[in-house]
Amino acid sequence: MTNHAELYPTQPAQGSLIGIFDSGVGGLSILRELQRLLPGQPKLFIADQAHVPYGPRPLEEVRQFSESITRFLLDRGAEVIVVACNAASAASLKTLRQHYPGVPFIGMEPAVKPAAEQTHSGVVGVLATPATFQGELYASVVERFASHVTLMQSTCPGLVQQIEAGNLDGRETRQILEEALNPMLQAGIDTVVLGCTHYPFVIPLIQSIAGDQVRVINPAEAVARQTGRVLEQYGTPAKVSGVVLPQLFSTSSTLLQLRQLANGFLPPETSVNQLCWDIRSVLSFCENHVS
């Protein structure tokens, strides 16, 4: 039996451990920027691929998943938590902050504000999942910052699943994006907001459909910078020297896509390991360690 205490020490060797989670591989787009801007900071990333996608699920169910994952991350020593999922942020960020008032949470907010400020045509496209569009956070952002522009929305049905399968530029993925973007382009959009952390992985395909005249807003860098500011604010300055490889986990027994996308910005020796949900919806280490 694997000695999990030896494999994954509760306290990081240096710096404040950043916990990051998403419904699937999409959160790697945030981890990639965190690793670029804060390479010396220890990180633990969880992809809940057993339940991906979160977007079509009831908000209460997403809250339960988020609560269990947060508890696991805190038990492993996380001092800051990045909810690297727009659907989870919309469904659970407010509740998580209430339940854990001493823990700083960084969530995903659709970048409608900068899009509304920078558009010249006055028409902005937003690609997101149903949970994001239904959440109070999105409605609040639109009301405060985008009342003077026209927003065109699409949930891109099936796109998350295509990205999870590693199909970043295939025929099915292109068709989903064309169906979402073509009506927006006909209406005169000059900006597209990515409201799902999976979507940055298909930016090249989005640009090939929309053209260079359409600006694509990827919030990953802004989230990484905000994480650094939060670390400073809470008295644990971010370490930027050296490189600490993150710990990667998935709740799926199929780890191939998570590993392949991570290999794009992490050394190939970075391990990807499995976590298991029990019948009480509690997250724990699986008995078998997967390298």
Would you say residue 291 lies in a domain?
no
Domain C-terminal end among 218, 250, 277: 218
Among candidate residues 218, 234, 267, the one where a domain is terminated = 218
pLDDT tens sequence across 24-66: 999 999 999 999 999 999 999 999 999 999 988 998 999 999 9
- Active site annotation includes 196: yes
Q: Is residue 57 part of a domain?
A: yes
Domain extent for 71: 4-108+221-285
DSSP states of the chain: ---HHHHS-SS-SSSPPEEEEESSGGGHHHHHHHHHH-TTS-EEEEE-TTS---TTS-HHHHHHHHHHHHHHHHHTT-SEEEE--HHHHHHHHHHHHHH-TTS-EE----THHHHHHH-SSSEEEEEE-HHHHHSHHHHHHHHHH-TTSEEEEE--TTHHHHHHTT-SSSHHHHHHHHHHHHHHHHHT--EEEEESTTGGGGHHHHHHHH-TTSEEE-THHHHHHHHHHHHHHTT-PPP-SS--PPEEEESSS--HHHHHHHTTTS-TT--EEEEEE-TTS-EEE-SS---
The pLDDT tens digits of the residues spanning 123-162 come to 999 999 888 898 888 999 999 999 999 999 999 999 999 9
The last residue of one of the domains, among 218, 233, 258, is 218
Same domain, 118 and 214: yes
Is the domain of 128 the same as that of 265? no
Does 180 map to a domain? Answer: yes
Tens digit of pLDDT per residue, the chain (291 long)? Answer: 334 433 444 444 457 899 999 999 999 999 999 999 999 999 999 999 999 999 889 989 999 999 999 999 999 999 999 999 999 999 999 999 999 999 999 999 889 999 999 999 999 999 998 888 988 889 999 999 999 999 999 999 999 999 999 999 999 999 999 999 999 999 999 999 999 999 999 999 999 999 999 999 999 999 999 999 999 888 777 777 788 999 999 999 888 888 888 888 888 888 889 999 987 778 888 754 444
The pLDDT value recorded for residue 248 is 96
Has residue 245 been placed in a domain?
yes
